[in-house]
Chains A and B, each alone.
Chain A
Amino acid sequence: MVDLSQNAALSRRHTRRIDSDTLAAWALALPAIIAYLLMILLPLLAVLALAFTDYELGARGFAFVGFDNFAEMLRDRTFAASIRNTFAYALFVVPLSIGIALLLAILIEDGARGRAFFRAALFLPVVSLTVAMATAWQYLLHPTIGPVNTILRDLGLGTPNWLGASEWVLVSLGFIGIWQNVGFNLVLFLAGLTAIPRELYSAAEIDGARSPWARFRLVTWPMLGPTMLFVVIITMTRSIQVFDTVQTLTQGGPNNASEVLLRTIYQEAFHYFRFGYGAAVTLVFLACVLVLTLIQTRLIDRKVHYG
């Protein structure tokens, strides 16, 4: 009996010890938890709820309307254009910005001359204010006084209205997107490339991989797998979130030819004050990001060779 009570006292003491650890941990995390609840979790739940209402900014009340907002999306021409444009933009920007970045990264890594300069020059767009640079592009792409068209005119080629014609506007925005993303992807690839052990290339050469291309296929490409996974996901997400350039340069025009998801959300909520509908579009946006991330993780994960 004495033993038992002693044991009980001991185990109580032990429990208190563990509790004090747990207490300390939660105390340390508390500020983050509060901010998370207020700024992420509650708004996330709210947007989920809001998407099923007809709430309008300034309205006294609102009603739950079930899936009406989503049904409306199916009929909404602007939304259709928005989602089509967003994906077209992403499909244009992602492969090109990744391909170009990889090529340039390999070229930079391949020699010592000018390495630091090229890296810095190509990285510059990443640290530049997007809105300001979009303005610079607007000048460059100006239909009459822009240098791009001046050169094309001198060469005797056509001079499209890059940002004003519906058939060119997405291409132009996409080009600016590529311009922005290449430097970012480039430094990620450079990090991936430098992490590949040099001996592997020597080994490949001894094993008979004579051409640079053969060595690329045998060593670089597979060893770059994990980096590639990250780069694809990041570029994809960044592309779907395109907003600044569109808002600055085209406002979604002409005739919705450059309307994109984030702008639709902004427009619906803050111009038409239709928060319910805006929230529903937000959910579509979120779903796109989640699904793409998931697919890519699955797809690429299977092929990635972790060194």
Chain B
Amino acid sequence: MANPAQTRGLLADLPRLVILTLASLIILAPFIWMVSVSMKPQSEVFSGSLDLIPSEFAIAENYGKVFDRVPVATYLLNGVIVCFGILIFQILFAVPAAYALAKLRFAGREVLFGFVVLGLLVPYQTTALPLYLGFAQAGLLDSYTALIAPFTCSVFAIFLFRQFFRALPDDLINAARIDGMGEFSIVWRVVLPNAWPAATAFAIFSVVAHWNDLFWPLIVIQTGDLYTPAMGILAFRSVEAGEDYGALMAAALLVTAPLVIAFLFAQRRFIEGITMTGLKG
């Protein structure tokens, strides 16, 4: 199908370009308006005009409001701490387990893998209520621990890494054994350095998922100090109210920007990462 792509003239390509441009406009509409409204004064927002460029800029006012009333930087920092905390533990726990499942012959391997598959079928929201009770009992509500701990064992990561490790040649691991490495050294010195594609793919998948998550933070976090970006927006909406769209869009833009910018800088990585994790899951 793509054969004639290179040679086709602009005219013949036009229907395709029109449809794709239209679709892109619809997809990009909220982003475009978000940027536009975040620069408009309230009066202009309420006039219902369709102009994208404000006739009068209110950037300082809108963004100032956000920084004045909510600690956006804290929210973003919390988001970073939580996402990376989760990611580090996920990698730390999943990689050795996946290596054992992929490359070692041992009693109980099938049982262990069975549990991994079981875990894949269970959405994380299922365990939310007992986990809440557990954290409440342990006095850990309202803490980074509560935000990070439930996600430390990613069966998905184990599954993904196992698939990837299985493709590594056995002789590479045998060579490492003959060179004098123990199994722990092999995991961190040979297997992981050769699994970067899988690791970056998973990292992107994990960060996107947890940066976005609202359900769990909403349950375990009450204090504003520990709000994640998603909760921060929710809080800003209710505090600041409802209809001050200029400030609201400014806040939305501020919390959306980090990941979007990261994406724009490493598009291929992101798309490959999501594709890989998507297809393996």
Question: Which residues of A are at the interface with B, using a C-beta cutoff of 8 A?
Answer: 21-22, 24-29, 31-33, 35-36, 39-44, 46-47, 50, 57, 100, 104, 106-114, 116-133, 135-137, 139-140, 142, 144-147, 150-151, 179, 182-184, 187-188, 190-191, 198, 201-202, 212, 215-216, 220, 227, 230, 234, 237, 241, 243-244, 247-248, 262, 265-266, 269-270, 275, 278-279, 282, 285-286, 289-290, 293
Q: Say whether, besides A43-B130, A139-B33, A147-B50, A133 and B256 are in contact (CB < 8 Å).
A: yes
Complex contact B274–A132 (CB within 8 A): no
Is the pair A129, B3 in contact by a Cβ cutoff of 8 Å?
Answer: no
B27's nearest neighbour on chain A, judged by CB, is: A122
0 or 1 for each of B23-65: is its CB under 8 Å from A? (1 = yes): 1101111110110010000000111111000000000000000
User: For B88, what are the chain A residues with a Cβ–Cβ distance below 8 Å?
Assistant: none
Given contacts A35-B153, A40-B127, A106-B1, whether A293 and B279 have CB atoms under 8 Å apart is: no
Which B residues form the contact surface with A (CB < 8 A)? Answer: 1-3, 5-6, 8, 10, 13, 16-17, 19-20, 23-24, 26-31, 33-34, 37, 45-50, 89, 92-94, 96-97, 99-101, 104-109, 112, 115, 119, 121-123, 125-134, 149-153, 155, 158, 182-184, 187, 208, 211-212, 214-215, 218-219, 229-230, 233-234, 237, 245, 248-249, 251-253, 255-256, 259-260, 262-264, 267, 270-271, 274-275, 278-279, 281
Evaluate contact between A262 and B33: CB separation under 8 angstroms: no
Q: Name 15 interchain pairs, CB-CB below 8 A, sorted by A.
A: A28-B97, A28-B184, A29-B96, A29-B100, A29-B112, A31-B97, A35-B93, A111-B5, A113-B13, A120-B264, A132-B34, A147-B33, A220-B1, A243-B125, A279-B129
* Chain B residues, CB < 8 A from A107: 16, 19-20
Chain A residues with Cβ below 8 Å from B183 are 24-25, 27-28
Minimal Cβ-Cβ distance residue in A for B230: A131
Q: Assess the A188–B275 pair: CB atoms within 8 A.
A: yes
- Across the interface, name the chain B residue whose C-beta is closest to A150: B48
Q: Is the interface of B mostly helix, strand, loop or mixed?
A: helix
Q: Are A227 and B279 in contact (CB under 8 A)?
A: yes
Chain A residues near B259: list those with CB within 8 A: 127-129
Task: Specify which chain A residues have a CB less than 8 angstroms from the CB of B132 in the assembled complex.
Answer: 269
Contacts of B151 in A (CB 8 A): 39
Q: Cβ of A104 and Cβ of B23 under 8 Å apart?
A: yes
Q: Which residues in A have their C-beta under 8 angstroms from that of B28?
A: 121, 124
**A20 CB to nearest chain B CB (Å):** 10
A41-B229 in contact given A118-B24, A132-B255, A188-B278 (Cβ < 8 Å): no
In the complex, A198 Cα to B121 Cα: how many Å? Answer: 35
- Candidates B131, B158, B270; contact of A123 at CB < 8 Å: B270
CA distance A21 to B46 in the complex (A): 70
Closest to B237 in A: A135
Q: Distance in Å from the Cβ of A164 to the closest Cβ of chain B?
A: 13
Q: How many Å from the CB of B152 to the closest CB on chain A? A: 5
Q: How far is the CB of B65 from chain A (nearest CB, A)?
A: 15
Bound Cα distance from A36 to B90, whole angstroms: 11
Query: Which of A22, A220, A275 neighbours the largest number of chain B CB atoms within 10 Å of its CB?
Result: A22
Q: Given the complex, which residues of A lie within 8 Å of B8, measured CB to CB?
A: 111
Q: Please name the residue on chain B nearest to A244 by beta carbon.
A: B214
Q: Complex Cα distance A35/B152, Å?
A: 7
Q: With A29-B112, A132-B255, A266-B218 as given contacts, are A110 and B16 in contact (CB-CB < 8 Å)?
A: yes
Chain A, residue nearest B158 (CB)? A32
Check if A25 sits within 8 Å of B6, measured CB to CB: no
- Give Cα A43–Cα B150 distance, bound, in whole angstroms: 10
Q: Closest CB-CB distance, B201 to chain A, in whole Å?
A: 12
A133 to B256, CA, bound (A): 8
